[in-house]
Amino acid sequence: MMPSTLANHLQIKHLRLITAIADRGQVSLAAESLAMTQPAASRALAEIEAIVGTALFERHPKGMTLTPVGDGLARHARNVLDEIGSAAVAVEKLRLGHAGVVRIGAVTGAAVGLVVPAIRRLKALAPEVDLHIDVGPSEELIKGLIGLRHDMMLGRLPVGAKTSDFHLQRAIGERVRIIAHRDNRFAGRSRIGLRDLAQGEWVMQSPGAPMRQALDDAFLALGVQPPRNVTNTASLLVVLSLLQDREVVTPVSQEVADLLTGTHLDLVQLDIIETVVVAPYSLIKLASRRLLPVAARCHELMSEVLREQHQRLGKPGR
């Protein structure tokens, strides 16, 4: 029989029977292991040998041994069955949300304050999940969400966006903190006003970014022009490098400030009088997109972390 014809006629149950007889040396024991009757197993073996066109086993008084053809087929049968078993396990993990790919976009504060605790929970449940996290401004993240490059994002919708196209869960507003080098002239001082920092050197996101806008508004509310000595960047690595200069200050969210000053002992949070809060971001996914199980589980965990944050502050999550 031609190889293609053989492949079309051999079935999974045939491969299981061949390997069972090879392992146990008797049709009766193989049949028992497969929950078959011995006559049914004998008929199936005869069917397989007819398909192959030659004997697969040599019969002896004490049992059966593989012929050269049978040995080759048994080895391939084991490989096929192993692959099927692996595929079944992989599919079940995907079905249960224990494996697969999740792609998340997040603004910096959300990445630290929400994505990190959520993915720690996800990894505890599904250590094999393949996570991809992109950090950037909301205007770039929304493009990734609409282009299906992100399963979900943590950021803000652009002005004019049709909210009915998205599923949104609002986070709490981000508290702005100012950090600087520990040798900065304001480090260690209490109750520093923003007006004291207006003429200093700043590094922050470009004009129009929510945190930059919140800070500019805070200066203007004091009757003070926003800082003019500014390096514009969204890169945290660039910010960290520039903060080695003791004159530089930068605004970041509370979560990022706690992380940076906790891991970089040369950085401190300045004690600013004014309270500056950025408009809240949201957990966003497309309303029309059905997430794969592992991504849906990740979304549920992020939603859970958001609700916990609201509960800690006594504010209802939406």
The tokens 């940076």 sit on which residue?
Answer: 260
Whether residues 181 and 271 share a domain: the answer is yes
Interval 118-146: pLDDT, tens: 999 999 988 888 899 999 889 899 999 99
The per-residue pLDDT for range 98-119, each reduced to its tens digit, is 668 899 999 988 888 899 999 9
Radius of gyration of the chain measured on its C-alpha atoms: 32
CA torsion through residues 144, 302, 293, 285, sign: negative
Per-residue pLDDT tens digits for 207-249: 988 899 999 999 999 999 999 999 999 888 999 999 999 999 9
Query: Terminal CA-to-CA distance of the chain, rounded, Å?
Result: 66
- In one letter, which amino acid is 50? A
Residue with tokens 């990894």: 123
Contact assessment for residue 272 and residue 192, using Cβ atoms and an 8 Å cutoff = yes
Q: Report the distance separating Cα 125 and Cα 147, nearest Å.
A: 28
**75, part of any domain:** yes
Residue 157 belongs to domain with CATH number: 3.40.190.10
Distance CA 285, CA 17 (A): 49
Residues 184 and 35 in one domain: no
Q: Which of 54-58, 120-124, 153-157, 172-176 has the lowest mean pLDDT?
A: 172-176
243: containing domain:
174-278
193 and 67 belong to one structural domain? no
pLDDT score of 126: 84
